[in-house]
Amino acid sequence: MEIKKDSKIKNVFKRYGKIMIVAAVAFVVAFVAAVGVGVKDEGEEVSTDSVVFALPMQNAVVVKDYADNYLQFNESLNRWEIHLAVDMIAENPSVFSIYDGVVLSIDENSLDGCVVKIQHEDGFVSEYSSMSQELMVKQGDNVKKGQLIGKSSDSAANEMVDGAHLHFAMYKDGVEIDPNIYLDLQNK
C-alpha cells in the first residue's frame, strides 16, 4: 500500500488557510477604509470646488508679516510680541472682501481702530483692522468677493507708528490662522 504525501504548500494551506483568508479580508477592509472608498448615500452632494480668496488690497506691500512662532518688535507699544496678522499698505487705501460672506460685526476700539469681521463659508472669517470709520458695509450685509468694504487708515493706536495700513487677520473654525496659507501675499 502506498501512502500519498501532500505537498508542503498544500499542508500550509490546510493548517493555516482560515487564518490567511481572515488576514487577507482584514487587509482589504483596512485598505478600503484608508483610501476612503465607500458607498455614497442617495442624495448626498459632493463638492470638488475649493475656496479661492482674493487679496484685501490691490498692489499692496506687506510691511509686517504673520508671526506666531517668533517675536516682532512693535514700535508703537515699545515691546516684542507675536503678530497674528499681516499688515499691508498700498497707494490706494481701498480694502476689499476676500470672499463672499456676511458682515459678522463692526467694532471700534482705541487699540485696533475700526474692525470689520466677515463670515465666509467653510468656517473662515476675515478680519480687517485699522479701517477708516467711513465704511461701505454694515453689520448683517451680504458681501461679494472683491467688493469694496472701506479704506485702510491709521485708526489702530497699537500700530500708529506704522501709519495708515490694513491689519488683516484670518480665522478657521474660530482659530487664528496664517493668511499666507490662503492668500498669495508672497510677492506683496
Cell of 39: 458607498
Inter-residue contact 101 to 126 (CB < 8 Å): yes
Q: Residue 79: is its pLDDT beyond 70?
A: yes
Average pLDDT over residues 37-49: 46
129-134, long-range: CB < 8 A, 24+ apart: 129/85, 129/156, 129/166, 129/167, 129/168, 129/169, 130/154, 130/155, 130/156, 130/159, 130/164, 130/165, 130/166, 130/167, 131/95, 131/155, 131/166, 132/93, 133/108
Beta strand 142-143 pairing with 124-131:
unpaired
Q: What is the pLDDT of residue 93?
A: 96
CA end-to-end span of the chain: 92
Q: Residue 175: is its pLDDT beyond 60?
A: yes
Average pLDDT over residues 26-42: 55
Q: What is the pLDDT of residue 25?
A: 65
CATH number for the region 61-181 comes to 2.70.70.10
CA angle 74, 80, 81 (to 5 degrees): 85
Distance CA 104, CA 141 (A): 8
What is the residue extent of each domain of the chain? 61-181
Q: What is the pLDDT of residue 76?
A: 81
Mean pLDDT taken over the chain:
83
Instruction: Give every CB contact of residue 186 below 8 A, 6+ residues apart in sequence.
Output: 180
Q: Residue 38: is its pLDDT beyond 50?
A: no
Q: What is the pLDDT of residue 137?
A: 97
What is the tens place of the pLDDT at every residue in 153-170?
A: 998 878 877 889 999 999
What is the tens place of the pLDDT at every residue in 117-142?
A: 999 999 999 999 999 999 999 999 99
Q: Residue 78: is its pLDDT beyond 90?
A: no
| Res. 1 pLDDT band, cuts 50 70 90 | very low
What are the CA-CA distances from residue 168 to residues 38, 43, 127, 171 (Å)? 40, 39, 6, 11
